[in-house]
Structure 1
């Protein structure tokens, strides 16, 4: 087990249904089925490592310094503060905010991200999931980053919002 980051690409109608009744989100999130109205991405445990490669900062530093990339992991708005998805409430970005996040990551190359990979610093910063000395750790992060970037690209092309949660 561990903390797994999930993303849902949703159209405005589905987002509004979540905001009206957050239990709808539970039904969608745990069905693991995709539809025309939403798609699901599981980032496994790579989320904080990816964030570090994109920003050069830990999540703790991102919150402290209010980094503009923070909505890649935690949207600026909550679906329902009372609904715990496992490690807190689900958050979301509007279609416009989703587009802003995509533009932050769309042109990042694997080489650029790999140059930021620093296992010693990542251990020192206590980045989750504490695997940075594994010989496959960088590839693990880069592969999931590619999935995330593609997911954001699809959201932008379809004018979708992004819902994210840790479970």
Structure 2
């Protein structure tokens, strides 16, 4: 079984309601919003590592993949989902927008990722692994840009 990171754009009001009624998270993710969920496949851990390796814990980049505030305790795949406020989505989108393809490529360190046991263990395939990460980084970047433009909040979860 593999772990993939998933993301859903929702209104801030809907996110706030989920914090109050966290038992509804599975119904939201499996219900009417299921078709709107995007994922970055197994690239999530590598992207998270690359974005956080040289940034502080308070940086918007630190929250781009795994979210910010836990939505209850319900396991939605691999632990609970996490919410990201509309204001934080905007900050994350701006931070991600500041990372060019060239800058992202420069962040890639196959040896460091292998040594840190970053999932999935594919980092010995330098070019192939980097293309895999870059492709999914662009998906993540697009998700945040679109979500910020719509003024929405987000949910992230591992499934």
Work out the CA distance in 1 between the residues paired with 2:101 and 2:52: 14
Residue 52 of structure 1, aligned match among 37, 49, 52:
49
Residue 109 of structure 1, aligned match among 100, 104, 124:
100
Deviation at 1:159, TM superposition (A): 0.7
Tell me the residue number matched to 2:39: 42
How many residues are aligned here?
A: 156
Contact 1:46–1:144 (Cα < 8 Å) also in 2: yes
CA RMSD of aligned residues (A): 1.9
Work out the CA distance in 2 between the residues paired with 1:156 and 1:18: 19
The 3 A distance-change label for structure 1 pair 70 and 22 is same
The 3 A distance-change label for structure 1 pair 75 and 33 is closer
Deviation at 1:149, TM superposition (A): 0.5
Work out the CA distance in 2 between the residues paired with 1:116 and 1:74: 19
Contact 1:79–1:90 (Cα < 8 Å) also in 2: yes
Scaled by the length of structure 1, the TM-score of the pair is: 0.83
Tell me the residue number matched to 1:4: 4
Unaligned runs of 5+ in 1: none
Tell me the residue number matched to 1:133: 124
The 3 A distance-change label for structure 1 pair 55 and 76 is closer
Contact 2:86–2:153 (Cα < 8 Å) also in 1: yes
Scaled by the length of structure 2, the TM-score of the pair is: 0.87
Deviation at 1:54, TM superposition (A): 2.6
Unaligned runs of 5+ in 2: none
Contact 2:52–2:62 (Cα < 8 Å) also in 1: no
Q: Deviations over 1:49-73 (max 9, x none)?
A: 112333335xxxx8xx635222112
Work out the CA distance in 2 between the residues paired with 1:74 and 1:107: 19
Where 1:45 maps in the other structure, the secondary structure is helix
Work out the CA distance in 2 between the residues paired with 1:7 and 1:42: 6
Work out the CA distance in 2 between the residues paired with 1:22 and 1:115: 39
Work out the CA distance in 2 between the residues paired with 1:55 and 1:22: 28
Find runs of 4+ consecutive structure 1 residues off by over 6 angstroms: none
